[in-house]
Amino acid sequence: MKQNILDLTFIELNNAIFDLDIETYRARQIFHSVHSGKSDSFDNLKNIPADLKKILSKNFSFEKLKLLKDNFSPEFNTTKFLFETSTGQKIESVLISEKDRNTVCISTQVGCNVGCEFCATGKMGFIKNLKPGEIVDQIYQISKFTDLKPTNIVYMGMGEPFLNYENMLTSLKILTDERGLNIGSRRITVSTVGFRNKIKKFADDLSDEENFKIKNVKLALSLHSTDNGIREEIIPTSKKNRLPDLYEELIYFYRTTGTKITYEYIFFEGINDSDNDIKRLKKLSSMVPSNINIIPFHPIEFQLNKPLDIYNSHTKDISKFLSKDKLNDFITRLRNQKVVVNLRTSSGVDINAACGQLAVLNN
């Protein structure tokens, strides 16, 4: 099978061009044209002669995502996109536009391996890992469709990036390459629930001299509870990836990269908002420079198990547990302890595009 040209970093493309006895200066032209995001076939690559296009089409494929549907939320200025891969699987991506900031939330898997209790994607189960080209093409397609240049990229869509590690890392190299889209690594965040040895490996890869273009990529840990027992109930993989081990790797990450940590924390009233949670979050925030993003829980159309069964759609008092009063009180309590806290907005909650709501079973 031919390799998708979108999957190749510049170095990989340059080596392939050399093996085909093509002048290597052409590699820069080809990479730029392919990763400008505006071409969808070899025929419409700009600044590439016709005979070279024929050689490329003979030796590579050009597999693009197909945009099936877009859904816009005027309330949040947020758009959700449904894409289909060349092999027929579906994924969702989200664009959040705020003044001069256009944040694209991208997926790394079809479905997810982790199975978080609060996440619609996790309820789908795992279908496949996305290739590097399928990851980056979400951004290209959204930019082409909206005519907006992405300013920030977050790997927080469908799937667990660290369970598709090599393809995720390759996509970072492609996106930050100055011969392509040239997105600054400081504007990219990768979110993970945390896996032993993977956070440390990520730190080592970011600090490798050969990877200097991605050295400032940010890391976000989906924490959601400081209690091991509760976290194991809502995030199944945390049974083998316990918090003390992850904390050690986060310290290593900061000391190696110099980049502060972000903790993602979905607020579950009566479950992860106790005085002990406040104390542990205060201690955690003083471990290394960090900030905590508090996220409202966004209901999903799946049956939830304990301890989150209070959020099932048929629960009589579900609205009580979605009150913003308790959430704001929790944030105030943290700030009183000098913890750096941000409240994440529920952008796109009305179109099922907010955190934890991405799923394609009904599309």
What amino acid positions are annotated as catalytic residues? 92, 355
ω into residue 236 within 30 of 0, thus cis? no
Query: What is the H or E stretch that residue 96 is in?
Result: strand 90-98
Q: Please, which residues bridge with residue 145 across strands?
A: none
Integer-rounded Cα Rg, in Å, for the chain is 21
Mention every residue, 6+ apart, whose C-beta is less than 8 A from residue 15: none
DSSP single-letter state for residue 260: P
3-state secondary structure 115-148: CCCCCHHHHHCEEEECCHHHHHHHHHHHHHHHCC
Residue 4 to residue 13: CA distance in whole angstroms: 11
152-180 burial, b if ≥16 CB within 10 A, otherwise e?
bbbbbbbbbbbbbbebbbbbbbbbbbebb
Mention every residue, 6+ apart, whose C-beta is less than 8 A from residue 248: none
